[in-house]
Amino acid sequence: MAKPKKIAGGWGALSSSLHFLRRESFLKGNATLLRMNQPRGFDCPGCAWPDPKDASVTEFCENGVKALTYETTSKRATPELFARNTVTEMGTWDDFTLENTGRLTHPMAYNAMTDHYEPIGWDEAFARIADHLRSLATPDEAILYTSGRTSNEAAFLYQLLGRLYGTNNFPDCSNMCHESTGVGMRESLATGKGTVTLEDFEEADAIFIFGQNPGTNHPRMLRELEKASKRGARIVSFNPLREAGLLNFTHPQHAMDMVFGRSTPISSHYYQLRVGGDLAAIRAVAKHILEKAAENPALLDGDFLTRETHGFEEYRRLVVETPWDLLLDQCGLTRGEIAEAADVYLGAKSVICCWAMGITQHRHGVANVQEIVNLLLLRGNIGRPGAGPCPVRGHSNVQGDRTMGITEEPSEDFLVRLEREFGFTAPRRHGYPVVHAIKAMAEGRAKFFFGMGGNFASATPDADFTWEALRRCDMTVHVSTHLNRSHVVHGKQALILPCLGRSETDLQASGRQSVTVEDSMSMVHASTGTNRPASEHLKSEPAIAAGLGQALFPGGPVDWDALVADYDRIRERIEAVVPEFNDYNAKIRRPGGFQLRNPAAHREWKTATGRANFSINPLPDLTVAPGRLRLMTLRSHNQYNTTIYASGDRYRGIEGERRVLFLNPVDMHELGLDEKSRVTIRSHAADGRERRAPGFRPVFYDIPRGCAAAYYPETNVLVGIDEHAVKSFTPMSKYIEVTLEAEC
């Protein structure tokens, strides 16, 4: 039986950090860590959690250390590596082995005659891509993907390039991540972004956390939770698993706590609901509140409801009419647990609700998000200190990329400003988000794929289907730091364009450049790399976008070389196109940068009703056929999305393996399985297609009955391409209907 940890951080985090620093030969007098998340340093490539204003010299976490050592490794994937191995051979390597070859050093082009990637000059690479783009029947045959590490400057040039070319096909990692948040919140509040800041965490009386594992994925958030817990705020977690980071925390940088083995309890209340049960659980909490308020109306914020919101009566009726039995059955919690959680909500003057992938990656992901907003609205918990919605983003600049126009559905306002600034006509047709992009490639409607970062082949759903789709492309191009699956699952022509990492010096004609990023709380700040680049042949992401722009539109309306010579000039153009970026260059030179204003945080509702909208969503159908389980796919403590740092998952008590399947002991017993069994997981998507993932070892785990968990990306073969959230198209990575077959 796995022995999960009950405390996050502590010596485990410190010794694991040291292990990775040593493994990547990082400890030779390297001061890089000291410059991470510092006013004049570079932004941590780990996650999008903001930096505290009082950042001590050593504001970093285990997650950040791993992300950084991965980037600053001394290993190199050189042309010799590619000469020694055919692409077919490399295709048999696992994700860890591929990325563990180290940093890419040269631009490489696939040679189909030899089945090898071979070095190519930058100019020739750009010319080949430009020629290919010119040969497409329509610009919409091109797919331009972005992963959320890309800086504002690179993202802005990249979307400009695509729109000049004539397409809005800008799928991004956000489509698989917080898209349900964006869609849901925009309908409710006319903003896709959270409204709280770190200061609000210092004032909240209660913090509700839905479907998030901060101990692994946002360790710096534990610092805020620790402070909140110490001053007596209530922390209420809804999660099918008892995650270490939500239980207790020892700050690895607090010497006395480390020496005396002291830890701070995090959650005061913990509800292990069923996978997919959040909408029902939140509605049940609302039902309890509304029942109490029927006797004591002062429990609701009547003034706020009347003046600032729309649709409250209809929502009240919906909640009152939904039977208790149905709600409790769907979430798997008791009436007593719901009453307890509701009383915490009622007892708090100000409440923050946080959430991540356990909320968004469901068929009803958008409805989940909107129900969280409904709950907050009941007592006016938005637009005042210590209260509000706090979607916790993943990639460190995923929010900024959207602000820069990386979206398949740009607003008319954005396009008009872009056209005015650059003097061209931008396309109006909406482009493909990730799921649609895959289908377009599979059906031959798209023939060219360009990945600005990320690992499309491994991160996307329905791996077999997606790989076939990528292989049908005439050309695939990837801007990358490390070798990954997307390079070995490639189109007829394929290119790898190696780029600088965030910690590295970016030298252009006018000198050293800084880029800018936007965190989960809308703070925009500069990031300046100082390390020597991993190879002299690397280009920055802005320079790659500009290089391609120059090759594709010589003599066109944009002087790409001038822009890239000095990123201040790119920021001047951003300032002209994106509202809120006035004085951009001056503001990012101030330590800490600046915050983008979110009207909803000031109770300015830019919705069609002019109010904050209650949303009316039906409960989902969560019935699964007898014998089937609801599988959620998670991150282990040793991975960053598709990048596997090592096997094992310290907080969940797993050592040296990844193909494990967490199951409830009673379910395991009924299925006739034990921890020595091996099973094939079979999924049952509505399209009836056969999907299997073999070789998993069942593990006894404290997880609700009927639920199961396993790691991503190994399980992406199981997610059907049409199994996605309503309205947001976010793949249902947290709700896969599966059965298990014992292997002999």
Q: Is 211 exposed, middle or buried (0-12, 13-18, 19+ CB in 10 A)?
A: buried
The encoded tokens of residue 15 equal: 């010794």
Identify which range of 260-268, 314-322, 638-646, 656-664 contacts ligand MGD by CB under 6 A. 638-646
The encoded tokens of residue 220 equal: 């710096």
Among 211, 410, 427, 491, binds ligand MGD (CB under 6 A): 211
Radius of gyration of the chain (CA): 25
Q: What are phi and psi of 266, to 5 degrees?
A: -100, -70
Q: Are β-strands 629-634 and 736-742 bridged in parallel, bridged antiparallel, or unpaired?
A: antiparallel
CB 144 within 8 A of CB 325: no
Q: What are phi and psi of 716, to 5 degrees?
A: -70, -20
Task: Name the nearest CA neighbour of 689 among 462, 510, 501.
Answer: 462
Q: Determine, following the binding rule CB under 6 A, whether residue 64 of this chain makes contact with ligand MGD.
A: no
Q: Determine, following the binding rule CB under 6 A, whether residue 440 of this chain makes contact with ligand MGD.
A: no
Q: Determine, following the binding rule CB under 6 A, whether residue 633 of this chain makes contact with ligand MGD.
A: yes
Q: Determine, following the binding rule CB under 6 A, whether residue 210 of this chain makes contact with ligand MGD.
A: yes
Task: Name the nearest CA neighbour of 707 among 654, 659, 664, 649.
Answer: 664
List, in order, residues 6 or more apart from 356 with CB less than 8 Å away: 178, 211, 212, 213, 217, 218, 391, 392, 394
Neighbours of 485 (CB within 10 A): 24
Identify which range of 112-120, 352-360, 409-417, 576-584 contacts ligand MGD by CB under 6 A. 352-360
Site for ligand MGD in 551-610 (CB under 6 A): none
**Angle value at C-alpha 643, between 447 and 25, nearest 5 degrees:** 130
Among 153, 578, 734, 737, binds ligand MGD (CB under 6 A): 734
Q: Determine, following the binding rule CB under 6 A, whether residue 159 of this chain makes contact with ligand MGD.
A: no
Q: Determine, following the binding rule CB under 6 A, whether residue 101 of this chain makes contact with ligand MGD.
A: no
CB of 312 to ligand MGD, least distance (A): 25
The encoded tokens of residue 131 equal: 């020629």
Nearer to Mo ion, 177 or 246 (CB): 177
Task: Name the nearest CA neighbour of 616 among 364, 330, 323, 371.
Answer: 371
CB of 469 to ligand MGD, least distance (A): 15
Nearer to Mo ion, 33 or 176 (CB): 176
Task: Name the nearest CA neighbour of 322 among 285, 297, 353, 358.
Answer: 285
Q: Determine, following the binding rule CB under 6 A, whether residue 529 of this chain makes contact with ligand MGD.
A: no
CB of 367 to Mo ion, least distance (A): 20
Instruction: Determine the size of the site formed for ligand MGD (CB under 6 A).
Output: 59
Nearer to Mo ion, 210 or 560 (CB): 210
CB 293 within 8 A of CB 299: yes
**Angle value at C-alpha 603, between 51 and 403, nearest 5 degrees:** 50
The residue behind tokens 């509800």 is 271
What is the DSSP code string of 697-731?
A: EEEE-S--TTEEEEETTTTGGGS-TT-B-TTT--B
| Binding interface with Mo ion (CB under 5 A) | 177, 394
Q: Determine, following the binding rule CB under 6 A, whether residue 482 of this chain makes contact with ligand MGD.
A: yes
CB of 52 to Mo ion, least distance (A): 22
The residue behind tokens 């944009």 is 558
Among 38, 159, 216, 664, binds ligand MGD (CB under 6 A): 216
For residue 632, the partner it binds in Mo ion, ligand MGD, none, with Cβ less than 5 to 8 A by kind, is: ligand MGD
CB of 391 to ligand MGD, least distance (A): 10
Nearer to ligand MGD, 426 or 661 (CB): 661
Nearer to ligand MGD, 155 or 596 (CB): 155
CB of 312 to Mo ion, least distance (A): 33
Nearer to ligand MGD, 319 or 718 (CB): 718
Among 4, 10, 139, 240, binds ligand MGD (CB under 6 A): 240
Q: Determine, following the binding rule CB under 6 A, whether residue 499 of this chain makes contact with ligand MGD.
A: yes
Provide the β-strand partners of residue 634: 711
Among 212, 399, 466, 683, binds ligand MGD (CB under 6 A): 212
The residue behind tokens 């931008």 is 426
In whole angstroms, give the CA distance from residue 244 to residue 651. Answer: 6
Among 16, 642, 647, 664, binds ligand MGD (CB under 6 A): 642
Site for ligand MGD in 445-474 (CB under 6 A): 453-456, 459
Q: How far is CA 521 from CA 45, 404, 484, 497, 541, in A?
A: 16, 16, 31, 32, 24
Q: Determine, following the binding rule CB under 6 A, whether residue 275 of this chain makes contact with ligand MGD.
A: yes
| Position 536, amino acid | E
Identify which range of 36-44, 157-165, 350-358, 648-656 contacts ligand MGD by CB under 6 A. 350-358
Nearer to ligand MGD, 200 or 506 (CB): 506
Q: Are β-strands 679-683 and 691-700 bridged in parallel, bridged antiparallel, or unpaired?
A: antiparallel
Q: Determine, following the binding rule CB under 6 A, whether residue 661 of this chain makes contact with ligand MGD.
A: no
Closest residue to Mo ion, Cβ-based? 394
Q: Determine, following the binding rule CB under 6 A, whether residue 501 of this chain makes contact with ligand MGD.
A: yes
Task: Name the nearest CA neighbour of 393 among 385, 380, 403, 408.
Answer: 403
Q: Determine, following the binding rule CB under 6 A, whether residue 715 of this chain makes contact with ligand MGD.
A: yes
CB of 519 to Mo ion, least distance (A): 14
For residue 715, the partner it binds in Mo ion, ligand MGD, none, with Cβ less than 5 to 8 A by kind, is: ligand MGD
In whole angstroms, give the CA distance from residue 37 to residue 52. Answer: 9
Element (H or E) spanning 237, and its range? strand 234-238
Q: Determine, following the binding rule CB under 6 A, whether residue 7 of this chain makes contact with ligand MGD.
A: no
What is the DSSP code string of 366-409?
A: HHHHHHHHHHHHHTT-SSSTT-EEEE--SSTTHHHHHHTT-SSS
- Sign of torsion, CA 432 435 440 441? positive
For residue 547, the partner it binds in ligand MGD, Mo ion, none, with Cβ less than 5 to 8 A by kind, is: none
Provide the β-strand partners of residue 724: 731
CB of 257 to ligand MGD, least distance (A): 22
Identify which range of 190-198, 256-264, 475-483, 549-557 contacts ligand MGD by CB under 6 A. 475-483
Among 471, 635, 659, 689, binds ligand MGD (CB under 6 A): 635
- Biggest alpha carbon–alpha carbon distance for the chain: 79
Measured torsion, CA atoms of residues 93, 94, 95, 96, in degrees rounded to the nearest 10: -100
Nearer to ligand MGD, 151 or 613 (CB): 151
Q: Determine, following the binding rule CB under 6 A, whether residue 42 of this chain makes contact with ligand MGD.
A: no
Q: Determine, following the binding rule CB under 6 A, whether residue 168 of this chain makes contact with ligand MGD.
A: no
In whole angstroms, give the CA distance from residue 444 to residue 437. Answer: 11
CB of 137 to ligand MGD, least distance (A): 27
Nearer to ligand MGD, 470 or 634 (CB): 634
Among 141, 200, 541, 667, binds ligand MGD (CB under 6 A): 541
> Interface residues with ligand MGD (CB under 6 A)?
47, 63, 99, 147, 149, 173, 176-177, 210-213, 216-218, 238-241, 243, 273, 275-276, 278, 356-358, 361, 394-395, 453-456, 459, 479-482, 484, 499, 501-502, 541, 632-635, 639-643, 712, 715-716, 719, 733-734
